[in-house]
Structure 1
Amino acid sequence: MYVLFEDSGKFKAEKIFADADSTMQVESASGKRSKIRKNNVFFEFAQPDPTTLLEQAEQLAAEFDVDFLWECAPKEEFSAIEFAEDYFGHTPSAVEKTALIFALHGAPAYFHRKGKGLYRPAPPEILEAALAAIEKKRLQAEQQDAWTQAMIAGELPEPIAAIANSLLSTPDKNTLEWKAFDAAVQHLGVSPEKLLLDLNAWSSPLALHRHRFFSNYFPRGIEFPEIELATEWGTELPVADIEAYSVDDEGTNEIDDALSIQSIGENQWRVGVHIATPGLAVQRDNELDQLARKRLSTLYTPGQKVPMLPEAVIRQFSLDQGLSRPAISLYVDIDLEKAEILQSQTRLERIVVKENLRQHKLDPLVTQEALDNPDSDIPYAHWIRPLWAVTQYLAKQRELVRGRPENNNRVEFLFDLDGAADDPDSLVRLIPRVRNAPIGLITAEMMILANNHWGGLLAQHDVPGIYRSQQNMRTRMSTHALPHDSIGVPQYAWSTSPLRRYVDLVNQWQILAAAEHGVSARLVAPFKPKEADLFGIVGAFEAQYTAWNDFQNTIERYWVLRWLQQQNIQQMSATVIKEDLVRFDSAPFVMRVPGLGELERGQQLMLDILSVNELDLTVEARLRELIQPPSTEDHPEA
């Protein structure tokens, strides 16, 4: 004997091996035995064999007119086996009973299941609604498949084009458009980005890279709301009697810092580091602070800058030449003859920067050789030469702490676009700049001086700040002073870019309190010791600063690839960083070159450029030849 039963939603027919009160043991055609509950059994039968039963029942079930079945079925709950006798007009065979069960089971809109072999016909109004829903679903499936097939064929359906902006950033995966798009992606075996580009939903890989970032971090656009500022800040402050200059890259219009130097004795100098003070207007939790805290840092990419602060604030506090501006100034008296720092002082005052200098114009004129020759004619010599002497002294002191000299010979590159930042056809120039050029070293050393001293000022008065430390090769941010080994200072608190970095702005509030109130500053500073909000700022800043840097690297890699193509560069010299990781010598680009073998760090080689991929931001290259033996590189953190 055989039995028809249901197991996990599937119909099965197997041979009865043993029979008990509430269970049966059955045996499949393959000989596998299993135990089933009798309440899952529909009926027993002697013939045909199970395989034949199921095959014939499926064929017969396909011949039923479901509408006719529904018309004929009892209006109340009924048994499929009993209904089979009425429907066929005779004692139904095992095949006929099974076929009817299959037909009823396969039409859930018409017949609602009520238990083992029991069904209830759907009321007319419910059936009508169910059939309408089924038809709607069928039409939707046809539409979805039509869109999918169109995309597979290289055509972009209008409904898909209409939501292309959201398919990568905020897709609604319940929509037909998304399901059709995802089906096409799976069928073609490509990434969603690649398919959208192939379908011309995006004008270029650049547009896609930019959309992916800005839709995530600036969904409402990059413009600030209208704000009102007081016409002047710090008018009551004394005006410093100094001659100060700033040095920045071409195009920088957020002038955070300026430098001055005065002779105070034989081989004694008073260095002034003067920092813009947006912290006078941007106060904790006010409207401007809320705007700054959302962005946390200015975003820089080739051809575009998204400022942290509204332009009105920048123009009010930027240390533009010829204008009287409030500044927080650090004055450090240094005796170069005795090689010691005599004293330091922090003041809130007004300064007038004499000129905003540009580094790319000074670098060719202010060289190491020119500075070593006292008779050499260099611009702004009365300002640069003593600053250079102080820079060398400060760098040497840090070198003693570090235990080794700094080697910043690596070339950096500036990007100059002849066109819009969002135009992939813009021409790009890569402008090399050596990190250890004297003007750059002067600026960097003076910023280290300020960040170190002001970090110490906060620690001295137990005023919390945000520090950047490095110990055991691990760099991190925290709210208490710790050494920065690679720089060689006992503490390092970012404080010199308050127009561009929120951490510097927060530290400025704390420094102003420490400078004005001294030992009682911890009671009046905006942030108190162990305040949870300060820890929150650290975590948020690190995450967002990383995202900003990642996007900057993405866009820079894109423009390097455009530069390679615009210049038709087919070969490129590179230097081994480690294993198969290399850095281009003439462009800021790091990549892996499989199959290099075991080459030492610093080994120079020539690569053949085979292809570039602007979407993946990769270059396919192969080794052409080795150029010269490896050289030692040192890459300390700056």
Structure 2
Amino acid sequence: MNVFYEEDGSFKVGNVMQAAEASFQVEAISGKRSKIKAANVLLKFNEPSLAEFMPRAEASAEEIDIPFLWECCGEDEFGFEQLAEDYFGHKPSAVEAAAVAIRLHAAPMYFYRKGKGRYKAAPADTLKAALAGLEKKRLQAEQAAKYVEQLAQFELPDAFKPLVMPLLFKPDKNTLEFKALDQACKDLQISPLRLFERCGALPDAHDYHLQMFLLEYFPKGTGFPPAPPTPIDIELPIAEAPAFSLDDSSTTEIDDAFTVQPQAGGGWRVGVHIAAPTLGILPDSPLDQIVMQRLSTVYFPGNKYTMLPDEVVQRFTLQEGQICPTVSMYIDITADFDVIGTESRVEQVRVAANLRNDVLEAQFNDETLANDTDGEYPFKTELRLLWQFACALEKRRGKYDPNRPPQVDYNFHVENDQIRITTRKRGSPIDKLVSELMIFVNCEWGGLLGKKNVPGIYRAQANGKVRMTTNPAPHQGLGVPQYAWSSSPLRRAVDLINQRQLLAVLRDEPAPYPKGSSVLFEAMRDFDATYNAYLDFQDGMERYWCLRWLKQENITDVGGVVLRDGQSVRLTGIPLVTKVAAMPELSPGTRVELSVGDVDYLSREVDCKFKGLASAPAEMLADDGDDEHTRIDADDLTEQAETTPTEQAETTVESGSDNPV
């Protein structure tokens, strides 16, 4: 006797060697013997032979029309042999019954299993929906195959054109387009980026890098929702002396300005005036939510995305000819530039002039000051005095070093898709004047918050590691007991937060962020991560434009300086570092000559080959061969002048003891 049985979801046949009440010992055609449960046996037969049974049953099953079979079965539960008799119109043979069982088993959308050999027809509505879904999948599979075929020929399907950036950035892996792209990339052994490049979907590498950044940090666009500032409802006194600012010509967010007043008994009163947007941006207001979402202005060559809407910037920027609200620090100094006292207040200042660095520096520089050949320019007396005061502050911090090798800053000017990269020596009189006064006020205001036991957001440095903390701590690189960013509230959320805390102290009011405030720590953490990401983006875009400059200027050979790792070279004239293959082992600072090969704008890499040693002597800059240059935000000079890129990369966030992580 032979049996037709179900095992592990499939049908099998075997010859019964031994039978018991609950089980059978069977032998398959291959000779393998096994024990099966009697409940799994669906049919017993003697004919046809064991070898013929399954081929004949499967061939017969192929001839059975499933929709017709479904129409024959009715709505009640049934056994397969019963349906086989209705279908064939006579008592079915073992082969015919097995054919129906095989067909029922292979059509789960049409027939629901109710037990061994028993089924129930799917309801008409359910079956219709299931068949529609199956048809949809079939059509999708066909469409995906067409997409894969097009992509394999490096043709971009029309449906992919609006999806290129999302597919590269954060793709929805359930979409048909992603599945087709993934399959094509596997077949071609190529990355999605390179596949789209071959398809001509990325004609503009600059736009690619920009869009990838915007998708990550500005998914809803760079525009601003309506969020007007709150009107200032208090009367503020107006400072006596006219103020002036020092910024690049492209600066629109003018955060700081200065005044100088001679004192009757000798010495001067120096005023540092910081824009006060906190007077019109209340905590948790719609405008504050924008600030806490953006956290900083984003700078990159040729453009920027401001932290605040333009109408808010224009309301609080220290614009020439306007009377503007400020948080001011007055510093009383002697004729020898010793600080004898400070006073902070909330007031308004008359901004007499917005002096522009690129114009002023032609007259106000190291050479003209040393030789007294600077001629006449606005606020000459005040600027000279502030520069002397800045030099004294630098010495007082222990950071004055006349023998320090020069460092170079690079500025990027993009116009009509052309790049111009200019250089200037770091530490010019303008740089020193601004940075030293900003370091002073950020240190003093941070100390004031600490004395009043009001938390703020500080940058601290110890053992070469920079961290952010809610408690005052020394910054060894700057040589100050504490350092709280407070001087750029139009451009950085941290400065705006610290200004709120400072205003509360000056007005003797409760601080918006008390000790233990989770909001303060979360803002610090989010700012640190976002600000560093913005700087990485700026670095990446500057690197892109450096590569564009190499091609624009038809540079085929270039000099460079070997860096500390012995494999990287900083190119001469531009802030670009690249690995050089097959370069001999050379000491850091060695000048070399390189040939410039292929440039890849998508990966932002250039293929440079070692040609030989340069004839000029080794170049030893202050950074000892590390690539470092000033970012567009001039206020960052205060810290970049004292920290290396390695230290900046190791920045961490730390809460105070009052606010554990």
Q: Would you say same fold, with TM above 0.5? A: yes
User: Does the C-alpha gap of structure 1 residues 406 and 156 become closer, same or farther in structure 2, counting only changes over 3 Å?
Assistant: farther
Q: Residue type of the partner of 1:436?
A: G
> For the residues of structure 2 that align with 1:369 and 1:559, how far apart are their CA atoms?
32
1:362 matches 2:349: no
Shift of 1:21: 7.6
Residue in structure 2 matched with residue 140 of structure 1 by the alignment: 140
Q: Residue type of the partner of 2:284?
A: D
Q: Residue type of the partner of 1:92?
A: A
Residues 249-307 of structure 1: per-residue CA shift (max 9 Å, x gap): 22111111123344549994443222111122122233432332222211222222222
Q: 1:445 aligns with which of 425, 429, 436?
A: 436
User: Does the C-alpha gap of structure 1 residues 464 and 408 become closer, same or farther in structure 2, counting only changes over 3 Å?
Assistant: farther
The answer for unaligned runs of 5 or more in structure 2 is 627-641, 645-661
Does structure 2 conserve the Cα–Cα contact (< 8 Å) formed by 1:232 and 1:316? no
Moved more, 274-283 or 126-135: 126-135
Aligned residues: 621
Residue in structure 2 matched with residue 615 of structure 1 by the alignment: 602
Q: Residue type of the partner of 2:145?
A: D
Aligned identity (percent) is: 39
User: Does the C-alpha gap of structure 1 residues 411 and 41 become closer, same or farther in structure 2, counting only changes over 3 Å?
Assistant: farther
Does structure 1 conserve the Cα–Cα contact (< 8 Å) formed by 2:232 and 2:280? no
TM-score, length-scaled by structure 2: 0.81
User: Does the C-alpha gap of structure 1 residues 128 and 346 become closer, same or farther in structure 2, counting only changes over 3 Å?
Assistant: closer
Q: 1:537 aligns with which of 523, 530, 548?
A: 523
> For the residues of structure 1 that align with 2:355 and 2:188, how far apart are their CA atoms?
55
> For the residues of structure 1 that align with 2:576 and 2:189, how far apart are their CA atoms?
29
Q: 2:348 aligns with which of 342, 347, 350?
A: 350
Does structure 2 conserve the Cα–Cα contact (< 8 Å) formed by 1:326 and 1:349? yes
Shift of 1:530: 2.0
Residue in structure 2 matched with residue 549 of structure 1 by the alignment: 535
Residues 98-124 of structure 1: per-residue CA shift (max 9 Å, x gap): 655443322223332223333334455
Shift of 1:427: 1.1
Q: Residue type of the partner of 1:183?
A: Q
Moved more, 58-67 or 310-319: 58-67
Q: Give secondary structure in 2 for the equivalent of 1:320.
A: coil
Q: Residue type of the partner of 1:209?
A: H
Aligned alpha-carbon RMSD (Å): 4.0
Does structure 1 conserve the Cα–Cα contact (< 8 Å) formed by 2:241 and 2:260? no
User: Does the C-alpha gap of structure 1 residues 231 and 72 become closer, same or farther in structure 2, counting only changes over 3 Å?
Assistant: closer
> For the residues of structure 2 that align with 1:266 and 1:293, how far apart are their CA atoms?
46
Shift of 1:237: 0.7
Does structure 2 conserve the Cα–Cα contact (< 8 Å) formed by 1:267 and 1:335? yes
What are the equivalent positions in structure 2 for 1:316-331 lying under 5 Å apart?
316-331=315-330
Q: Give secondary structure in 2 for the equivalent of 1:558.
A: helix
User: Does the C-alpha gap of structure 1 residues 567 and 126 become closer, same or farther in structure 2, counting only changes over 3 Å?
Assistant: same
Q: 1:491 aligns with which of 470, 482, 485?
A: 482
> For the residues of structure 2 that align with 1:631 and 1:26, how far apart are their CA atoms?
88
The answer for unaligned runs of 5 or more in structure 1 is 420-425
> For the residues of structure 1 that align with 2:213 and 2:518, how far apart are their CA atoms?
29
> For the residues of structure 2 that align with 1:294 and 1:110, how far apart are their CA atoms?
53
What are the equivalent positions in structure 2 for 1:105-124 lying under 5 Å apart?
105-123=105-123
Residue in structure 2 matched with residue 211 of structure 1 by the alignment: 211
Q: Give secondary structure in 2 for the equivalent of 1:154.
A: coil
What are the equivalent positions in structure 2 for 1:490-509 lying under 5 Å apart?
490-509=481-500
User: Does the C-alpha gap of structure 1 residues 73 and 525 become closer, same or farther in structure 2, counting only changes over 3 Å?
Assistant: closer
Moved more, 480-489 or 144-153: 144-153
Shift of 1:322: 2.9
Shift of 1:456: 0.7
Q: Give secondary structure in 1 for the equivalent of 2:398.
A: helix
Residues 362-396 of structure 1: per-residue CA shift (max 9 Å, x gap): 34444333333346657554233322222222222
> For the residues of structure 1 that align with 2:541 and 2:54, how far apart are their CA atoms?
62
Q: Residue type of the partner of 2:179?
A: K
Moved more, 261-270 or 583-592: 261-270
Residue in structure 2 matched with residue 475 of structure 1 by the alignment: 466
> For the residues of structure 2 that align with 1:372 and 1:20, how far apart are their CA atoms?
114
Q: Give secondary structure in 1 for the equivalent of 2:397.
A: helix
User: Does the C-alpha gap of structure 1 residues 495 and 161 become closer, same or farther in structure 2, counting only changes over 3 Å?
Assistant: same
> For the residues of structure 2 that align with 1:550 and 1:285, how far apart are their CA atoms?
29
Does structure 1 conserve the Cα–Cα contact (< 8 Å) formed by 2:232 and 2:279? no
User: Does the C-alpha gap of structure 1 residues 238 and 265 become closer, same or farther in structure 2, counting only changes over 3 Å?
Assistant: closer
User: Does the C-alpha gap of structure 1 residues 202 and 610 become closer, same or farther in structure 2, counting only changes over 3 Å?
Assistant: closer
Q: Give secondary structure in 2 for the equivalent of 1:221.
A: coil
Shift of 1:145: 2.3
Residues 122-161 of structure 1: per-residue CA shift (max 9 Å, x gap): 4555545443443333233223322332333333333333
Shift of 1:50: 9.1
What are the equivalent positions in structure 2 for 1:365-380 lying under 5 Å apart?
365-374=363-372, 377=375, 379=377
Residue in structure 2 matched with residue 514 of structure 1 by the alignment: 505
User: Does the C-alpha gap of structure 1 residues 473 and 131 become closer, same or farther in structure 2, counting only changes over 3 Å?
Assistant: same
Shift of 1:458: 0.9
Does structure 2 conserve the Cα–Cα contact (< 8 Å) formed by 1:42 and 1:117? yes
Residue in structure 1 matched with residue 447 of structure 2 by the alignment: 456
Moved more, 381-390 or 250-259: 381-390
Residues 67-102 of structure 1: per-residue CA shift (max 9 Å, x gap): 454466687544446766885966435xx7765544
Q: Give secondary structure in 2 for the equivalent of 1:583.
A: strand
Does structure 2 conserve the Cα–Cα contact (< 8 Å) formed by 1:408 and 1:436? no
TM-score, length-scaled by structure 1: 0.83
Residue in structure 2 matched with residue 422 of structure 1 by the alignment: none
Moved more, 253-262 or 274-283: 253-262
> For the residues of structure 2 that align with 1:39 and 1:437, how far apart are their CA atoms?
94
Does structure 2 conserve the Cα–Cα contact (< 8 Å) formed by 1:169 and 1:212? yes
Q: 1:637 aligns with which of 636, 643, 646?
A: 643
1:577 matches 2:563: yes
Moved more, 82-91 or 596-605: 82-91
Moved more, 276-285 or 460-469: 276-285
Does structure 2 conserve the Cα–Cα contact (< 8 Å) formed by 1:606 and 1:624? yes
Does structure 2 conserve the Cα–Cα contact (< 8 Å) formed by 1:468 and 1:493? yes
